[in-house]
């Protein structure tokens, strides 16, 4: 037996399991459970089988499907009952076909004496069948359990078949860090939220922002600086991008240049800006002709919005890319809040230390006072599996994130 990367229909796979016609999958699942029970009795082991949710993972290729199959061993604490990996091939001109595989995953919990089991079904869909993936999925999942849908990589611009899958799911999980065009895709997600209100939407990238959002909140926890929060007039955010290829401006668009364009799209910075706008209850207003972004002259990855606060005073949000090779692209390198309280100007900032991807410098600067600074550990690079575990533990809507998603959709319209 060889390890196959292409998942040839009809062949056995070491990671996807036995090739079975999809009409006979449940019979094979029952047989696998019987064999597992017999093995446990012989080996004196304790089998742990819990039935909490269906986890459906949509991938664009067999290689990505194998990646998430390996990642599943890190999700033991979520008590998944069944995993369905849907490989949706993008070639709609290909002949219609469905190929399915099934296996029973077993991992030790604490020790090898106690093992966690769950079912894994892998389905390869090609051609026109992809458009009907939601109908097929309903035959593959456990009907008595909720469906958590994880869409790996960026959703299609058309919204199909994501929309039909979201219609039958209780939660849609994405990762905006993988979006090549986060602006349009965030607007697409907001439209799905409006069209399918019973399907909660969450973003792994939002989880990466939790430590930074907590630092921002700490600025204004104390009574001394709390009044400055309402006096914020400007938000500045800089996000890390890779250096562009030297000849990117002189030659035709290359694959590297296209990748660089993607890396200049600040999904995390957009989420942070949307969160602060929502907390400050700012309203968007028309920009004047002298504003930086009024003529569409902003570079890729930069945004500018004119707004006003509850008192009708002008405010603004500026998002800029910063060439930075020391931290992963998309990381927020600088967050600066400019505030005025009566006649006192204040700056609250969080900035990455040069050449350091784990620490930040927080600073509070008031006029005629020495800056108050601290160096803190802030590691936002949590593993993808850890972020996914957090999302699978949520049983309802993440109201705050969904509100921010709607705020961003309005800003990016």
Encode pLDDT of 180-206 as tens digits.
Answer: 888 899 999 999 999 999 999 999 999
The confidence score (pLDDT) of residue 47 equals 54
- Which uninterrupted H or E stretch holds 319? strand 314-323
Tell me the pairing of strands 303-308 and 314-323.
antiparallel
Tell me the pairing of strands 303-308 and 283-284.
antiparallel
Strands, DSSP E only, in 60-196? 80-88, 97-109, 111-126, 147-151, 171-174
Write the secondary structure of 30-92 as one string of H (helix), E (strand) and C (coil): HHHHHHHHHHHHHHCCEEECCCCEEEEEEECCHHHHHHHHHHHHHCHHHCEEEEEEEEECCCC
Residues near 166 by beta carbon (within 8 Å), at least 6 away in sequence: 149, 172, 192, 196, 199
User: Of 6-15, 59-68, 159-168, where does mean pLDDT reach its minimum?
Assistant: 6-15
Query: Taking the CB of residue 72, how many other CB atoms lie within 10 A of it?
Result: 21
Q: pLDDT, tens digit, for every residue of 245-285?
A: 444 434 444 544 544 445 456 899 999 999 999 999 999 99
Omega into 167 within 30° of 0, i.e. cis?
A: no
Q: pLDDT-derived band of residue 16, with 50, 70 and 90 as boundaries?
A: confident
- Mean pLDDT calculated for residue range 109-117: 64
The confidence score (pLDDT) of residue 263 equals 47
Q: Which two tokens stand for residue 368?
A: 């005629």
The confidence score (pLDDT) of residue 129 equals 92
- Mean pLDDT calculated for residue range 88-110: 83
Measured distance CA(173)–CA(390) in Å, rounded: 11
Measured distance CA(235)–CA(278) in Å, rounded: 13
The confidence score (pLDDT) of residue 354 equals 82
The confidence score (pLDDT) of residue 264 equals 56
- Which uninterrupted H or E stretch holds 287? none
If we measure between CA atoms, which residue out of 6, 113, 15 comes closest to residue 71?
Answer: 15
Distance (Å) of CA 236 to CA 71, 232, 287, 327, 351: 36, 11, 17, 19, 11
Q: Which two tokens stand for residue 141?
A: 């999942």
The confidence score (pLDDT) of residue 36 equals 74
Does the 18-205 domain belong in CATH 3.30.300? no
Rounded to the nearest integer, the mean pLDDT of the chain is 86
223 vs 232, higher pLDDT = 232
Residues near 389 by beta carbon (within 8 Å), at least 6 away in sequence: 74, 75, 77, 78
List the domain boundaries for the chain: 18-205, 210-379
Q: pLDDT, tens digit, for every residue of 311-331?
A: 999 999 999 999 887 788 889
Q: pLDDT, tens digit, for every residue of 276-310?
A: 999 999 999 988 877 766 556 788 889 999 999 99
pLDDT at 1 over 50: no
Measured distance CA(243)–CA(263) in Å, rounded: 10
The 3-state DSSP class for residue 180 equals coil
- Mean pLDDT calculated for residue range 51-77: 88
Q: 354 and 326 in contact (C-beta within 8 Å)?
A: yes
The confidence score (pLDDT) of residue 2 equals 35
The confidence score (pLDDT) of residue 110 equals 63
Q: pLDDT, tens digit, for every residue of 326-368?
A: 788 889 999 999 999 988 999 999 999 887 778 999 999 998 8
CATH code: domain 210-379 is 3.30.360
């Amino acid at each position: 037996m060889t390890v196959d990367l292409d998942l040839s229909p009809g062949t056995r796979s070491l990671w996807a399991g036995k090739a079975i016609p999809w009409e006979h999958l449940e019979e094979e699942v029952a047989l696998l459970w019987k064999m597992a029970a017999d093995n446990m009795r012989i080996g004196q082991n304790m089998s742990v089988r819990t039935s909490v949710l269906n986890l459906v993972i949509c991938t664009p290729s067999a290689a990505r499907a194998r990646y998430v199959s390996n990642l599943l061993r890190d999700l033991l604490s979520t008590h998944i009952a069944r995993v369905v990996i849907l490989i949706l091939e993008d070639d709609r001109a290909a002949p219609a076909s469905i190929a399915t595989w099934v296996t029973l995953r077993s991992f030790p919990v604490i020790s090898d004496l106690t093992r966690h089991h769950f079912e894994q079904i892998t389905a390869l869909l090609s051609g026109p069948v992809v458009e009907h993936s939601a109908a097929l999925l309903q035959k593959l999942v456990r009907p008595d359990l909720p469906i958590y849908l994880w869409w790996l990589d960026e959703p299609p611009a058309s919204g199909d078949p994501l929309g039909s899958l979201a219609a039958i799911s209780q939660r849609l999980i994405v990762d905006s860090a993988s979006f090549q065009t986060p602006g349009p895709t965030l607007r697409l997600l907001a439209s799905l939220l409006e069209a399918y209100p019973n399907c909660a939407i969450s973003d792994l990238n939002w989880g990466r922002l939790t430590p930074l959002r907590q630092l921002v909140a700490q600025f204004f926890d104390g009574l001394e600086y709390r009044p400055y929060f309402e006096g914020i007039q400007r938000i500045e955010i800089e996000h890390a991008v890779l250096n562009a290829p030297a000849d990117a401006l002189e030659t035709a668009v290359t694959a590297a240049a296209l990748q660089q364009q993607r890396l200049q799209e600040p999904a995390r910075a957009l989420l942070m800006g949307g969160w602060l706008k929502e907390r400050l209850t700012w309203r968007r207003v028309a920009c004047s002709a002298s504003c930086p972004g009024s003529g569409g002259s902003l570079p890729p990855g930069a945004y500018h919005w004119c707004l006003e606060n509850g008192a009708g005073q002008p405010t603004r949000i500026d998002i800029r890319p910063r060439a930075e090779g020391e931290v992963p692209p998309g990381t927020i390198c600088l967050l600066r809040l400019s505030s005025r309280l009566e006649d006192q100007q204040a700056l609250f900032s969080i900035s990455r230390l040069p050449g350091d991807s784990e620490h930040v410098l927080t600073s509070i600067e008031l006029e005629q006072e020495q800056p108050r600074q601290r160096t803190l550990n802030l590691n936002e690079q949590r593993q993808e599996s850890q972020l996914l575990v957090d999302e699978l533990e949520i049983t309802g809507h993440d109201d705050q994130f969904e509100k921010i998603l709607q705020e961003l959709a309005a800003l990016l319209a």
